[in-house]
């Protein structure tokens, strides 16, 4: 869900809560009561559609993540054995081609992972007799072949889920715009007319509406007075791939966020000042970025590239 849409939906839910709190007043204004029914139906449909999008997203990520890890584990097992065998016979080219520990495979893009694991499988099949001394049995090669097939099928099948997810998000967009239009073009006017007789209700209603008072536009997140926004993307310094679940800390404020699946992080309403960013991720060297300056109403972009942690090299099996 885009940040802008999420904020708009949250505003609409706050408005509904206020309408429910003042249900007696609403019932006494027939025009408003009718609008509230339509508004409630729209919100219910938005909630239902949003739940579907989240379920698909979670299902896609979990299924792909689990099978990607399974492929990485069996792929690295065979690769480690090939690496050890190459070292033992002095075949530097084989060692180089098989230098794929688990952390490397886990960070690869899906299509590249399939391609690399197919190369590992081919090398394993070519040297399967010799690999028996390094703990690799024919069953391991069969498992690697099967894992490649399964994960490749998931990549292909997930496109249909991606398309469905996209379509549902578009439906949410349409519903949100319809809801915002109902508020701005109809409900706001009715509440404004009734404001003199119901000042407390009107005050709370328009306070909630002030969060977002326009239709169908992407708004920038509100910033507190004297603050700014800090955002960026955390990537691998070697291949440029994004790093998910990295921890980003504004040291002086002890504010902590984690990166999403696109490697992006986001801090809203950061007080004016000069700060140090501390970025941490598993299998990467920690990095600090100093002198990150936030000025009033600024939107600062600070990307961070982390170096892989090479302090734990591949340990050849059988050593």
Tens digit of each residue's pLDDT (9 = 90 or more) over 233-270: 999 998 888 898 888 999 988 888 888 878 889 888 89
Three-state SS string across 102-117, please?
Answer: HHHHHCCCHHHHHHHH
Q: Give ranges for CATH 2.60.40.1120 in the chain.
A: 227-306
As assigned by CATH, the class of the 227-306 domain is mainly beta
Helices (H), 90-231: 92-97, 102-106, 110-126, 128-131, 138-182, 188-193, 199-209
Q: Which position has the higher pLDDT, 191 or 155?
A: 191
| pLDDT one-digit tens code per residue, 14-41 | 899 999 999 999 999 999 999 999 999 9
pLDDT at res. 303:
94
pTM score of the predicted model = 0.42
| pLDDT one-digit tens code per residue, 46-68 | 888 887 877 666 655 667 788 88
- In this structure, the number of other CB atoms found within 10 A of the CB of residue 300 comes to 16
Of 127, 41, 35, which Cα lies nearest the Cα of 85?
127
Going by their DSSP bridges, the two strands 304-306 and 227-236 should be labelled as parallel
Contacts of 18 (CB under 8 A, 6+ apart): 201, 204, 205, 208
Rounded CA-CA distance 81/126 in Å is 13
Q: How far is CA 76 from CA 36, 83, 137, in A?
A: 58, 10, 14
Across the chain, mean pLDDT equals 84
Whether pLDDT at 296 is above 80: yes
Assess contact for 57 and 165: CB atoms under 8 A. Answer: yes
pLDDT at res. 158:
58
């Amino acid at each position: 869900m885009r940040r802008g849409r999420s904020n708009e939906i949250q505003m609409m839910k706050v408005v509904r809560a206020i309408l429910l709190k003042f249900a007696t007043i609403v019932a006494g204004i027939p025009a408003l009561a009718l609008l509230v029914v339509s508004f409630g139906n729209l919100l219910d449909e938005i909630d239902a559609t949003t739940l579907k999008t989240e379920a698909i997203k979670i299902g896609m990520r979990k299924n792909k993540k689990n099978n990607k890890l399974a492929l990485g584990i069996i792929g690295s097992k065979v690769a480690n054995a090939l690496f050890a065998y190459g070292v033992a016979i002095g075949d530097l080219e084989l060692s180089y081609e098989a230098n794929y520990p688990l952390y490397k495979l886990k960070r690869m893009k899906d299509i590249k992972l399939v391609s690399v694991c197919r190369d590992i499988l081919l090398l394993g099949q070519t040297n399967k007799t010799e690999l028996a001394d390094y703990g690799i049995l024919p069953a391991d090669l069969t498992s690697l072949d099967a894992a490649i097939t399964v994960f490749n099928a998931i990549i292909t099948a997930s496109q249909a889920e991606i398309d469905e997810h996209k379509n549902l998000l578009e439906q949410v967009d349409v519903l949100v715009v319809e809801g915002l239009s109902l508020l701005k073009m109809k409900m706001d006017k009715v509440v404004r007319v009734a404001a003199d007789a119901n000042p407390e209700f009107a005050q709370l209603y328009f306070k909630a509406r002030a969060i977002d008072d326009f239709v169908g536009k992407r708004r920038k997140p509100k910033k507190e007075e004297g603050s700014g926004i800090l955002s960026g993307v955390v990537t691998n310094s070697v291949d440029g791939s994004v790093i998910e679940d990295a921890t980003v800390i504004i040291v002086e404020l002890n504010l902590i966020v984690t990166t999403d699946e696109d490697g992006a992080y986001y801090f809203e309403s950061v007080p004016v000042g000069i700060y140090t960013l501390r970025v941490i991720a598993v299998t990467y060297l920690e990095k600090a970025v100093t002198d990150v300056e936030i000025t009033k109403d600024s939107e600062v972009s600070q990307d961070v590239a982390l170096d892989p942690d090479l302090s734990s090299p591949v340990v050849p099996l059988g050593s």
